[in-house]
Structure 1
């Protein structure tokens, strides 16, 4: 068997919270992670297997993937042939704007129940938007039209339900939330599970189980993801990669690069180029 050929091309809007990637992966394995944005993908060739919301899923050619913000998932090729896919990350505010009614009132954010859907028409719509985002000759007006149409179709055709109404938090939820706040407050510190336990007044076992149940990630993965997201923001703003690594608690640039690639599917250098590229 020949050498695997993984590649990825990334695009980031210079002025709006929307990003897109076109990639082919045979060997790359995504570490379990989530995005701050909605993520809508379409598999073009092959098949990608992943776990999300406690279940295993496979997205084959022509199928659509829908991830809610902060939906933990992983991903890898289903076989040695790999898979090619396009994915678009859209901030919740943009989704809300696209769904507002004729009076300008926001209709609320959707929650996607199924992370995979077989819908050729929706796949075609997503692909058209993705192609326009990466096309230097596409106008801003054309991109906005396709974005609005794609979001409307996704919400209309995909299985959705309203976001759940807030409920009184359980003890487990409160413990997880307090631990999460400590991770945010001390993002670059080398925290231990005992630090989380002390901050919540519980045992290390209680805080670990509560956090995993609430956020779908172990505290260590969540903490690393916070640092990676911050590093990505710094890199997009023009901070040199070695400085971004130091500012976010990574040992050096190579340490940041290893984890950045496992979470996002491209190197910090490639992301930097996408961040400064003109649309």
Structure 2
């Protein structure tokens, strides 16, 4: 049986990352990303749950996750799957679309997390190969623009209309989420979250799961992992990062990092170091 493997690329200057992996045994814990995640399955099939349904991405299919889309992932059979994933920050997507349209562009939304589109798959593979293959910055930018424009044109369901003011469960969940963002490094209690949301403990838990697809404690851990990613990319010692972000120790951080990102903190740090900005040569004169 082929062993699990993964490669990672991390931009030093932009919210842009790429992963190439083959998984047989690895199972992703339910998680989400701050930005968009676009992937293409090369071989095998990946099964996952997202937006209240079960999905499978087979060879040649494209995955499109909106920002904060909770999802998990695992091999659909014992042969495993090989896939490529590109993570793009929302501000980078809107910047590209503004360039393409010549004006301000809202955040696009993707209704279906799996799209069967050979053109999108080809475009994503080209961008992914450029990111992991050491292409020039100009070439990366060209392919990023072409890929984002293509995926929005061919697969987006909406151009990001302004959302209505939240009411009911959405309002409760939003208040709890705001409290978590303000204090995710603290040892928050259910009572404190309930007070922030002006509701009962169970009501907050139920509303949060309904709106954000995970329990408040899972969301808090996710915020801590995102902060850990940021600090690891800056080269901070892993033990210090674990302590700062509320994990019991480095091993505890590593276990959850792998469950959610499919790569160890040490390997993520090496990927970040490989893409550190190069110092510019002095100007002549």
TM-score by length of 1: 0.95
Matches within 5 A, 1:172-211: 172-211=169-208
How big is the shift at 1:251? 0.6
Deviation at 1:134, TM superposition (A): 0.8
| Alignment match, 1:66 | 64
Equivalent pair of 2:62/2:121 in contact (CA under 8 Å):
yes
Which residue in 1 is equivalent to 2:85?
A: 87
CA contact under 8 A between 2:18 and 2:128: conserved in structure 1? yes
Cα separation, 2, equivalents of 1:70 and 1:278: 26
* 1:157 aligned residue: 154
Corresponding residue of 1:237:
234
Q: Deviations over 1:156-205 (max 9, x none)?
A: 11142122422132132221122112212221222232332233232211
Deviation at 1:215, TM superposition (A): 1.2
Equivalent in the alignment of 1:263: 260
Which of 215, 222, 225 is matched with 1:225 structurally? 222
Contact 2:33 2:69 in 1 (8 A): yes
- 2:164 paired with 1:167: yes
Partner Cα separation in structure 2 for residue 94 and residue 236 of structure 1: 19
- Stretch of structure 1 that moved more, 222-231 or 157-166: 157-166
CA distance in 2, matches of 1:159, 1:144: 21
Alpha-carbon distance between aligned partners in 1 of 2:103 and 2:237, rounded to the nearest angstrom: 41
**Aligned counterparts of 1:175 and 1:9: Cα–Cα separation in 2:** 39
SS where residue 78 of structure 2 aligns?
coil
Whole-Å Cα distance in 1 between the matches of residues 238 and 21 of structure 2?
23
Q: Contact between 1:101 and 1:107, CA under 8 Å: does it hold in 2? A: no
2:29 to 23, 31, 43: 31
The corresponding residue for 1:272 is 269
Alpha-carbon distance between aligned partners in 1 of 2:165 and 2:198, rounded to the nearest angstrom: 20
Report the CA distance between 1:70 and its aligned residue.
Answer: 0.5
Residues 20 and 52 (structure 1 numbering): CA distance in 2 closer, same or farther, change over 3 Å?
Answer: same
Task: Identify the match of residue 78 of structure 1 among 52, 76, 83.
Answer: 76
Q: Secondary structure at the match of 1:161?
A: coil
Partner Cα separation in structure 1 for residue 101 and residue 160 of structure 2: 22
Superposed CA deviations along residues 84-127 of structure 1, whole A, max 9, x for unmatched, are 00000011111111112567412222101110011111101100
Q: Which residue of 2 aligns with 1:128?
A: 126
What's the counterpart of residue 49 of structure 2? 51
1:199-228 C-alpha deviation (Å, 9 max, x unpaired): 323221111111112211110110000000
